[in-house]
A and B are shown apart, each in its own frame.
Chain A
Amino acid sequence: MPIPSPIAEFEQFVLLAILQVGEDAYGPAIREEIARRTGRTPSRGALYVTLDRLEAKGYLASRAGESTPVRGGRARRLVRVTALGRRALRESRRALLNLWRGLGPELDRR
């Protein structure tokens, strides 16, 4: 079983937002989800580049959705997080929690 390579913060944001959106995750929905939960709207360029990169790493898979006239006949790219992606997220969470352990009061002091 391949060991997932560490993922950057924005990559985590994207993967987590996809999980939050659920079945119908695609570009604008993911962007909105990140904006709603973090308070920062990511740039479209960064989002689409990251989607490609995560798919190349095998952390997410995409399939063609409906192609409506509103979309000029172009299919939606619906994405879901793969098992490898979930493991990578777990790994990041573990590492982060370990680093955070006991630091709550330390950080809140000021």
Chain B
Amino acid sequence: MTSPPPSPPRAAERLLELLVDAGLARDGLLGDLREEFGEHLRRTSPARAVLWYWVAAGTIVPSLALERLRRSLQHWSRTLGADATAGSSLSRGDSRMIRWLQNLGAAARTLRRAPGITAIAVFALAIGIGANVTIFGMTDAFLLRPLPFADATRLVHVWATNRDKGESQLRVSLPAFLDWKRDNAAFTDMALFNYSGAELGDAGEPEHIPIGRVSANAFQLLGVAPFLGRGFETGDDQPGRTPVAVLSYAAWQRRHGGRSDIVGEKIRIDGTVRTIVGVMPATFAFPLNTSVLWVPYELDPAVYGRDREEFQVFARLAPGVSLAAANVAMAERAGLVARDNPKEEAGRGAHVVALRDALNFAADTMRPLSFALFVAASLVLLLACANIASALLARATARTHEMSIRAALGGTRRRLIAQLMTESVLLGVLGGSAGVLLAGGALRVIDATIPAQLYRVGPLAIGPAAIVFSFALSLGTALAFGVMPALRATSGAVTSGLTQTSRSVSAAMAVRRSQDALVIVQLALTITLLIGAALVSQSLGALRRVDPGYSARGVLTLSFSPPRQRYRDDASVRRVQEALLAEARARPGVTVAAIADDLPLNHERGIQQFLANPAAGATPDAVKSANVVSVSPAYFDLLRIRQLAGRGFTEADGPDVSRVLVIDDAMRRRYWPEGDVVGRIVRLVENGLTVEATIVGVVNNTRQVSLAGSPEPTFYAPQSQSTTRYFRLLVRGDADTLALATQARQIAKAVDPALPIAEMRTLQAVVDQFLLPQRGLSAVLFVLGAGAMLLATFGVYGVMSYLVAQRTREIGVRMALGASRADVFAMVLRRGGVLALYGVVGGIAGGLAISRLLGVFLGQTNPNDPVSFGLVSFALVMVTLIACAVPARRAVSIEPATALRHE
């Protein structure tokens, strides 16, 4: 007796067992193989035998698998050939699935057979869905996605307000914050933060980076645990502690290669060596997306008195406390604080807003913008639906015969509709996919246009929510444009079957009415969009034409913020300013150089209170406020601001002589409309005291904060008398700005190699960015309007071609009876003209509605501007007639004899 032979590989046997039903067939196959395996085993080695078995099994598996597939296909087709329910071994769900797959295949074939219609439909949907998904993606990132913090809807921002001055977004001093926080039942906790910049690295090649300064409890309050190491601990923000820092994930990856042993390393920030104690997770963004790292404040009450109002406050609402209740509580608390400190806190209140609205400081512009864009995109999608429905309707009529045959062969109406709807859904999904691709590209463009500082959650790209949205949109659209044609195509098909030799007159009339309605809808929507675009671009044009009062062209601006460590007092800041100016003037390419704290139209404004008439006393009513810009003497010359009276600033207006001011014309008209203003004395309110200052000159108005409305009163103070640590160097040169930029870097380096340039922009870029919402809205509306017009033109062309084709016989009869070619041409054009006129009526109504919606962005532009309405309407009527001309020519070329044989 031989011992039982070793077995063949079990896995290979299992594989084969999967493909052969148990029984004689399986025993036969596996037994045969085992027999042969035994032979191989005897003749060669076990390893070779096993290898042989695998090879043999490998050649058998594909044949068996294909055979099984063939059998199941046969089974399916037999099952479906008979009624799905009769004696079928398939479950109901299975047969439904199979029928759906069959429908899908048939739908794909139908779409391929009509490539023209399919292409236009997919194009239309791609524009409509793409526009919606783009705007959804934008809204998602800026307004919708939850903030990357725990239970983020309970997080709020607390602004200080000044009722007397109408200020609603003021920062807070440390003592005021502590007063607010003490036993405050409205919040579980309150914390401090501020946007800040810092110099990173050693002296020599410092890098200026955006950072967040926070109180030690900030991360706990936000409810975000560090990715690595620890966050800040209680006491980290008290004076005398070891300086620490927490890195952002991006900085950890980029600057430190994502090393896991980073915790404990030292890093030099603003000249202070700090220990890295942790890394925040990748999703964490606060208060900017670009914040590189966080450092705790050193909250020394001796340093941060009530005069240093430089903190922003955020908090978490206590359980059960609403935003409104928190507002009431905080108003009361701030009122008490103001009463106890009448000198510093007079008029102070508090205002609680959702944290998101405070982080995204453009939220109040973006909400109406998003809404307006959504409406516009929805209109385009609606138009696309009307367009496709119209095309499908034309085809539906052509397919009545096909449907009758199908009905005669036993297709129920439900199944015919299901087949047609499958086509629509397939179109919807194709268009939706194209739209998502389009949206992805559009979002990249938008990402490059919108400043990176604008707070967003996650990337500005198609996220999961946008995918779900686009899918829902695709299906919804498919229903919208598919239902009517599907009902139309199958109506009568089932009831009258093949006895209906040709379309009945009433059915044809019904189709034509539906088509006319769809064309009118398309024209009306196009006019609506174009009116919106025309109004916004008109307002943009008006804003561009507003004289800002200065010349931005050819001016380069550089931001500096000399660190306190090396530039301790105002005098040292003044010295660096003077050195920068001297260095700049010495450069060959630079013609003028000046210093200013704020740039015009840069969403920043300094406001100063003053007593216009010191003799009348300092009653609350007498305290006025105006924009203030702190500038060096050459500022007016550099920006080509004209001197209207008196003088500008000179080097003589130094820190130790009496204070001087230059006011603008708006300020003169507002407060001293009569008499000579030069030489007048006002009192400036500073730190609760008043300081005397003499008006030495008047300059023309400049636009500091807005291009709309009338210019706001603005005055100028010399940098030498009110020095600001954060300032801009402005240079104007005869060279182009690129060459100027190279010069500018050298200027900074020559003065102090360790002085970083925080930001370098041309003044023109600042102005352009100021107009970004209007520019963006106008561009988007025009793109959508153009797409709409294209689609509407296709729509009109399609319907008129269909009309001419349908009426070939009628036209032939008319011509045979003596109608001239001109008559026929006019007949077709007249039809188009009537549709266009209805479209104009609808479009004007839509235009009136959309101009209300766009109100915020229109500024001074008349929302009912007859020129815009008229021009757009006229243009659309013309385009409609041109779209009709081609089918009309075809009608004219009809030969009566041929036409009479038609059908």
Contacts and interface: CB of A to CB of B under 8 A. Distances in A.
Interface of A: 26-28, 43-46, 48-49, 51-53, 62-64, 67, 69-72, 74-77
Interface string B17-45: 00000001101111111111010000000
Contact of A77 (B27, B61, B64): B27
12 contacts: A28-B35, A28-B36, A43-B60, A45-B60, A45-B64, A48-B28, A62-B24, A64-B24, A64-B27, A72-B34, A74-B34, A77-B25
Contacts of B59: 43-45
A75 B31 contact: yes
B62 interface: yes
A49 B36 CA distance: 18
Contacts of B56: 44
B5 interface: yes
A69 B24 contact: no
Interface in B48-78: 56, 59-64, 67
A75 B63 contact: no
A9 to B, nearest CB: 17
Nearest to A70: B38
Contacts of A27: 28-29, 32
A74 B60 contact: no
B434 to A, nearest CB: 43
Contacts of B33: 44
A52 B21 CA distance: 11
Contacts of B27: 64, 67, 74-75, 77
A1 B852 CA distance: 86
Given A45-B63, A52-B67, A70 B34 contact: yes
B34 A77 contact: no
B67 A49 contact: yes
Interface in B1-23: 4-5, 7
In this complex, which of A26, A28, A44 has the most chain B Cβ atoms within 10 angstroms of its Cβ?
A: A44
B4 A77 contact: no
A76 B28 contact: yes
In this complex, which of B5, B24, B67 has the most chain A Cβ atoms within 10 angstroms of its Cβ?
A: B24
A74 B31 contact: yes
Contacts of A45: 59-64
Nearest to B24: A77
B25 A52 contact: yes
> Which label, helix, strand, loop or mixed, suits the secondary structure of the B interface?
helix
A72 B26 CA distance: 13
Contact of A49 (B30, B32, B35, B64): B64
B7 A26 contact: no
B32 A28 contact: yes
B728 to A, nearest CB: 81
A74 to B, nearest CB: 3
Interface in B701-752: none
Given A44-B59, A74-B27, A26 B67 contact: no
Contacts of B60: 43-45, 48
Contacts of A43: 59-60, 63
B377 to A, nearest CB: 57
Contacts, number: 76
10 nearest A-B pairs in the assembled complex, by CB-CB distance: A77-B28, A45-B63, A74-B31, A71-B31, A27-B32, A45-B60, A74-B27, A72-B34, A49-B67, A75-B27
Contacts of A49: 63-64, 67
Contacts of A51: 25
B727 to A, nearest CB: 84
B862 to A, nearest CB: 82
B32 to A, nearest CB: 4
B26 to A, nearest CB: 8
Given A28-B35, A45-B64, A52-B67, A72 B7 contact: yes
B63 A67 contact: no
Contacts of B5: 69-70
A54 B430 CA distance: 45
Given A28-B36, A77-B29, 14 more contacts: A26-B28, A28-B32, A43-B59, A44-B59, A48-B63, A49-B64, A53-B67, A62-B24, A64-B24, A69-B4, A71-B35, A72-B30, A72-B31, A74-B27
A53 B63 CA distance: 12
Nearest to B4: A69
A75 B25 CA distance: 10
A64 B24 CA distance: 7
Nearest to A71: B31
Contacts of B67: 49, 52-53
In this complex, which of A27, A53, A67 has the most chain B Cβ atoms within 10 angstroms of its Cβ?
A: A27
Given A45-B59, A45-B61, A62-B24, A67 B31 contact: yes
A77 B67 CA distance: 19
A71 B63 contact: no
Contact of B24 (A44, A53, A75): A75
A47 B648 CA distance: 105
A33 to B, nearest CB: 14
B176 to A, nearest CB: 86
A67 B67 CA distance: 27
A16 B5 CA distance: 34
Contacts of B30: 72, 74
B35 A48 contact: no
Nearest to A29: B32
A44 B55 CA distance: 11
A103 to B, nearest CB: 34
Nearest to B30: A74
Contacts of B38: 70
A86 B63 CA distance: 26
A70 B25 CA distance: 18
A49 B67 CA distance: 7
A83 B63 CA distance: 28
Contacts of A75: 24, 27-28, 31
A53 B74 CA distance: 13
Nearest to A74: B31
B31 A48 contact: no
Contacts of A67: 27, 31
In this complex, which of A51, A52, A64, A67 has the most chain B Cβ atoms within 10 angstroms of its Cβ?
A: A52
Interface string B443-467: 0000000000000000000000000
Contacts of B35: 28, 70-71
Nearest to A78: B28
A53 B25 CA distance: 11
Contacts of A62: 24-25, 28
A74 B31 CA distance: 5
Interface in B663-721: none
A43 B12 CA distance: 17
A70 to B, nearest CB: 5
B528 to A, nearest CB: 66
Contacts of B34: 70-72, 74
Contacts of A70: 5, 34-35, 38
B100 to A, nearest CB: 30
A45 B5 CA distance: 25
A61 to B, nearest CB: 11
A72 to B, nearest CB: 5
Nearest to B57: A44
Nearest to B27: A74
A93 to B, nearest CB: 27
